Structure 1
Amino acid sequence: MAEFGTMPTAATLACLGAAGLSWYRGHPDSFDQHAAPALRSFRRRWLRYVAGRWRNLMIDCEFSRENRRTGHVEVPRLVRVRSASPSIDTLYVKPLRGQSLKKFTDATEELAMALKADGLGIVKVKPQLIAITVVRGNPFSELIAPASIPEDSADVDLSAIFMGEDEYGNDWFEPLKGGHLLGVGATGSGKRSLLWNPLLAMGPAIRDGLVLPEMCDLKGGMEAGDAQPLFHRYAAEPADALELIEGYRDDMKATQAHLSAAGMREITVSRETPFRPLFIDELAMMTALADSSTTRQAVRLLAEVMTQGRAAGFAVCAYLQEPTKDVLPIRDLFTGRICLRTTAANHPDMVLGEDMRLRGALADEIPADAEHAGIGFRVDQRSRRPIRVRAGCVSDGDIAELVRSCTPTAVDDSNVVRFRPDDDADDSEEFDAA
C-alpha cells in the first residue's frame, strides 16, 4: 500500500471484489469449484485457527512442550488449512519432534471437543506431517423429499437422475445411462433411497416400455417384493438371480449385434432398444456369500456387462454393506459411487477412492440414527473433492404410488431386442475377476 498508494490499492481491491461477485452471480458452479474453497480456506485459517487460537488449543490439549534451551513453549505447527466444503476443514499439522501419530489419535475426543467438531479424522500424510479432518454440523436439518414421478416419459432425463440434495442446498443428480452406480452403507444407513429414487425418476419411461428395469432382490424379496410388477424380470434367490443376470448378459450381446448390423455406435432409447438398468440389492450375496460356482459365474457375467454394456444401454446399480475386494472384486468398474454411513474407517477410501477420507469423507463418523439416514458422500468429478449429500427419503407410500401409476400394462414388447437360444452369437471370453 505504501508503494502504490491508498487509492490505487483500494481501487484494485474493489475491482477484484466486483469481479469475484460477478463470477459468483454469473457462474456459481465454477465459482464453487475453483474460488470458494480457496476463499474459505483463507478465511478460516485466519479467523478460526490462528491469532493465538491454535496455540492455545494445542496447549490446552497437552501437545505443547517447553524448549529446554530457550524456555519458549513450542506447539505443533499448523502448516495449512483446506476447506473442501462449507462444513469440512482439513488441517495439515507438523508435530513436534518426538510426537507420534498415536499421540494425536489417542486424544481424538479431546481435540474434537476443543475444535467443536462433530466428527474428527486423523491420518499420517508423510513423515512429520499429519492431517486432521474436522466435520462440523449437519447441513441437512430436515428430510429431503424423494424424486417426483414425472408426468410424461419425455420429462425423464436418464443422464441426470434426481437423488437428493448436496450440502450446498443444490439438487443432486446422477447419470444412470452410460455408467454403473454403486451404493455402500451399513444397515440402516438409507441405501433403499439410493435404489428407489432412480426408479421414481424413471417412472413414466418404465410404464411406456422405454426403460426395462430388472431386479435381484437378494434380501429374500423384502425390499421390492411388493413391486415385482414394475420389473421386467425379478429374482429373490441367488440361483434365480444368476439365471436373470445370464439372461441380462445375453440380451446385451443381442443388442450389440443389432447395433452392429444397423451401423450404430450406441442405442437411441426406444421401445425396440430400451434402457436396461439392473438393480441388485445386497450384491454380496452374488459375489461372496453364495456357493463358489455361483459367485464365480456372477462376477464374470457382471464384469462382462459392465465393461461392454455402456453403448448398448445396459447399466448395473448395486448396493451392499461391505466394499472390500474380497466381497466386491469388480469394485473399480463402477463409474459412480456413493458412500453412506460405514462401520470401518477404511471403507470411504475403498468406495470413493484413495485419500477421500483424508479430504473429508468421514462416512464412518456419521451417527447411526434416523436423523442421519441417507447422508453420505459422493465425489465431484470435476474437482475430485468429496461432497456431502443426502438422498431423498422414499416411503412405502411413494413406492406404492410408483407401482400403481407406472407398472407397464399392455405394452407390446415383442420388438424388444433380446437373446434367443438359436441366435448365432459367440460368447465373449471369460473375465477373470479374481
Structure 2
Amino acid sequence: MFKKLPGDEAQQLVSTTPDTAVVFRPAVLRTPAIITIVIFVWRLLAGLVRLVWRHPIASAVVTAPTVLAWLYGWQYGLSFVAGVLVGLTSWALLGRLSFNRWIGWRLLAFWRLVWVYRRHWQPVMIISGLGRHLRGRDYLPRLVSIRCTSWADLVTVKMLHGQAVKDWADRTDHLAHGFGARSCRVSVAKAGRLLLVFPRHDPLATPLPAMPIPDAASVGPVEVGTCEDGTPWLLKVHGTHILVAGATGAGKGSVIWSTIRGLLPAVRADLVEIWALDPKRMELSFGRDLFGDRYAASPTDCADLLEAAVAVMQERADRFAGLQRNHTPTVEDPFVLVVVDEVAFLTAYQSDKGLKLRISAALATLTTQGRAVGVGVLAALQDPRKEVMNIRNLFPDKIALRLDESEQVDMVLGDGARDRGALADHISPIPEQGAGVGYVRLECSPDPIRVRAAYVSDTDIHTMATGFTPGPDTAPMTAVEVTR
C-alpha cells in the first residue's frame, strides 16, 4: 500500500538474535550542482554585504588601497596607505580625545570583537550554560555589537528565547573569567537584549582630592566624587534620603564630608541647614563650628535634636497642606539635612530602651514624611542587618561601600544587586585603593553604579570650619518654638 523509500530496508543483517542492533542506511538525496553553486554564491554575497554594513571603516581600509593598486599600480596603493598612516598618527598626537572618539575606540572594539569575544563566544556560552548543544547543533545567544570606552567593553547580546536576566546575572563570574575581564556587570538594554560591561582596568584605583567648594549656592545635586565612566558623581540630597553602609575604614566620612562641602555655599546663603548627630564624637566633631548648636553627641541630645527636626517637619506639613506638594528652599523654609553618623549606635546598641524608641520613632517619621517638606536624612552605619537597622528600606537612595560579607550587599542595595555587579565585598581594604569606593543604587534605577567619593582631609575640614561661622540665629527650634 505504501511505497518503500531507499534506506527503509535493513542492510546486511549479521544475526537474528534479539540483542543484535539493526543498522539502517539513511536515504541519500543528490542535489544538483547548480543549486549548490547558487547557495554558495548567495551566502558569499550576503556575508560580504553584512561585513561591509557592520564594519564600514575596516572594509574601506582594505578596499581603497586594493582598488588603487589594481587600477593605477602598486605605487599609488602604497602611497595612499602611507598618507593615511601619517594623517592618523598626526591626528592621534595632536588631538587624542577626538581621535579616540572617532577612530581609536572603534578600532579597539573591532579588534576585541574578533580576537576576544567571537573567538571565545561558543565555548564560553556552552560551558557556562547560557547556550545549548542539541542534536549536533549549537543554540547560542547572539553577539550583537561591542563598544569600547576608555575603561571598559560594552557588549550588547540578544538572549535566546526563554532566557531571563537572572540566568545571566547568576553567571557573571563565568563570563568575566571566560573573556579575561576582572568582573562583569549585567543590565537590560531593551526587551530581549542585555548590556554586558567588562572593565579593562580600574579608573577608580587612585584616591581623589576634595572637590572644590561650589561658587553658587545650590541644594544639589552635589558633586561628591567620580563615577567609573569618568563622569562626575552627583549625589541628590534634596527630596530624598540616603543610607551609607560600609565597614570600618571604608570611607563613609568621605561621602558625608563631600556632601557637606558641596552644600556649604547654600548653608552660607541660609538655604540649607545641616543638623549633625555624632554619637561617636569623632567624625563630625572635627567640623563642629559648621553646625553651631545643631550638633548632638550624647544619646539624649540626639533624641532631642531628632524630635526637633520632626517638629519642624510637622509644622511645615501643616502650612503646606493644600498649597504645595514639593518643597522649594528659601530663607524662611531652608532645606534641613539631618546627618547621622553611626546610626546603629542609636537604633540598636543603645542601652536605654526609652531613648532607643524615641530615636527610632523620630527617624522613621522623618524618612517617611520628611522629603516632601524639605527635611532629608543622610545616615551612615557599619552593620546593615535588619535587626540593627530595621528602617533601611525607607531610604530611597543607598550607597554600599566596602562590606565584609556578600550577603550584606543585597541587604543594603536590595535583592539582586550583587548579581548585577555590585561587588562591594570585593573592594580592597587598603585605604589608598578602596577607601571611598562603593556602589550606588538610586530610587529611579535598579542597576548599581560604581563610584568613588573624594577624600576630604582634616586640613580641608579645618579650612571649611574656620572659613564659616554660623550666626546666632542658627539654634535648633524646639517643639515649643515651632509656632508661626
Q: Provide the TM-score with structure 2 as the length reference.
A: 0.63
1:366 partnered with 2:427: yes
* 1:77-88 correspondence to structure 2 within 5 Å: 87=152
Structure 2 alignment gaps of length 5 or more: 1-40, 59-107, 130-134, 160-169, 186-195
The 1:356–1:89 alpha-carbon spacing in structure 2 relative to 1, beyond 3 Å, is: farther
- Within a 5 Å distance, the mapping from 1:300-339 to structure 2 comes to 300-339=361-400
Which of 414, 421, 433 aligns to 2:480? It is 421
Counterpart amino acid of 2:203?
P
Residue equivalent to 1:387: 449
Matched, 1:268 2:328: yes
Mark the structure with the bigger radius of gyration.
2
Aligned partner (choices 332, 344, 349) of residue 289 of structure 1:
349
Cα distance change, pair 120–268 in 1 and its aligned pair in 2 (3 A): closer
1:48 matched residue in structure 2: 116
Could you tell me how far 1:159 is from its partner in structure 2? 3.3
- The answer to whether the 8 A contact 2:402-2:427 is kept is yes
Relative to 1, partners in 2 of residues 1:402 and 1:81: Cα closer, same or farther, differing over 3 Å?
A: farther
CA distance in 2, matches of 1:364, 1:78: 32
Q: 1:297 and 1:92, CA in 2 relative to 1: closer, same or farther beyond 3 A?
A: farther
Is 1:196 equivalent to 2:260 in the alignment? no
Query: Does the 8 Å CA contact 1:359/1:385 hold for their aligned counterparts?
Result: yes
Name the SS for the 2:425 alignment partner: helix
2:247 — aligned with what?
186
Structure-1 separation of matches of 2:418 and 2:464:
36
Query: Aligned pair in 2 of structure 1 residues 402, 338: CA closer, same or farther (>3 Å)?
Result: same
Residue 143 of structure 1 pairs with residue 204 of structure 2:
no
Q: CA deviation at 1:165?
A: 0.5
In the alignment, the residues of structure 1 paired with residue 381 and residue 392 of structure 2 have an alpha-carbon distance, to the nearest angstrom, of 11
Aligned match of 1:403: 465
Deviation at 1:258, TM superposition (A): 3.0
Which whole-Å CA distance do the structure 2 matches of 1:277 and 1:48 have between them?
A: 49
Alignment of structure 1 residues 144-293 onto 2, 5 Å: 144-151=208-215, 155-219=216-280, 221-231=281-291, 232-260=293-321, 263-291=323-351, 292-293=353-354
Tell me the SS of whatever aligns to 2:465: helix
Going from structure 1 to structure 2, the CA distance change for 1:249 and 1:315 (only over 3 Å counts) comes to: same
Cα deviation for residue 353 of structure 1 reads 1.7
Distance 1:92 1:190, change over 3 A: farther
Contact 1:209 1:408 (8 Å CA) reproduced:
no
More helix by share: 2
Q: Percent of aligned positions with the same letter in both sequences?
A: 31
Instruction: Determine the C-alpha separation between the residues in 2 that align with 1:424 and 1:206.
Output: 23
Match for residue 97 of structure 2? Answer: none
Matching residue's letter, 1:407: T
3-state SS of paired residue (2:371): coil
Q: 1:13 to 1:46 in 2, by over 3 A?
A: closer
* 2:124 and 2:178 in contact (8 A); partners too: no
Shift of the 229–422 alpha-carbon distance from structure 1 to 2, 3 Å rule, reads closer
Decide whether aligned partners of structure 1 residues 134 and 179 sit closer, same or farther in structure 2, where only a CA change above 3 A counts: same
- The 3 A distance-change label for structure 1 pair 42 and 286 is farther
Measured against aligned partners, the alpha-carbon deviations of 1:319-364 in whole angstroms (never above 9, x if no partner) come to 0111111111111111111111100101111111211111111110
Tell me which residue corresponds to 2:359.
Answer: 298
Partner SS, residue 402 of structure 1? helix
Number of equivalences: 365
CA contact (8 A) 1:45 1:81 kept: no
Amino acid at match of 1:335: P
How far, CA to CA, are the matches of 2:269 and 2:471 in structure 1? 9
CA apart distance, 1:138:
2.0
Q: Post-superposition shift, 1:225?
A: 1.3
Contact 1:267 1:312 in 2 (8 A): yes
SS of residue matched to 2:119: coil
**Residue 257 of structure 1, CA deviation:** 2.3
Name whichever of 301-310 and 380-389 sits farther off: 380-389
1:58 is displaced (CA, Å) by 9.9
Residue in structure 1 matched with residue 76 of structure 2 by the alignment: none
Whole-Å Cα distance in 2 between the matches of residues 166 and 178 of structure 1?
22
The offset of 1:401, in angstroms, is 1.4
Q: Which residue of 1 aligns with 2:14?
A: none
> In the TM superposition, what whole-angstrom CA distance separates every residue of 1:228-271 from its partner, at most 9, and x where no partner exists?
1211511112222111111111111122223348x333333122
Q: Report if the CA contact (8 A) 1:119-1:136 is conserved.
A: no
Measure the CA separation in 2 of the matches of 1:293 and 1:138: 47
| Cα offset, 1:296, TM superposition | 2.3
SS in 2 for 1:326: coil
Query: Is the alpha carbon distance of 1:383 and 1:282 closer, same or farther for their aligned partners in structure 2, counting shifts above 3 Å?
Result: closer
Q: Which residue of 2 aligns with 1:67?
A: none
SS in 2 for 1:183: strand
Residue segments in structure 1 that go unaligned for 5+ positions in a row = 18-39, 64-69, 94-103, 122-131, 426-434
Aligned to 2:167: none
> 1:2-17 residue pairs with structure 2 within 5 A?
2=42, 12-13=53-54
Q: Is the 8 A contact 2:237 2:376 kept in 1?
A: yes
- CA distance 1:294–1:413, shift in 2 (3 Å): closer
Structure 2 CA distance for partners of 1:381 and 1:229, relative to 1, 3 Å: same
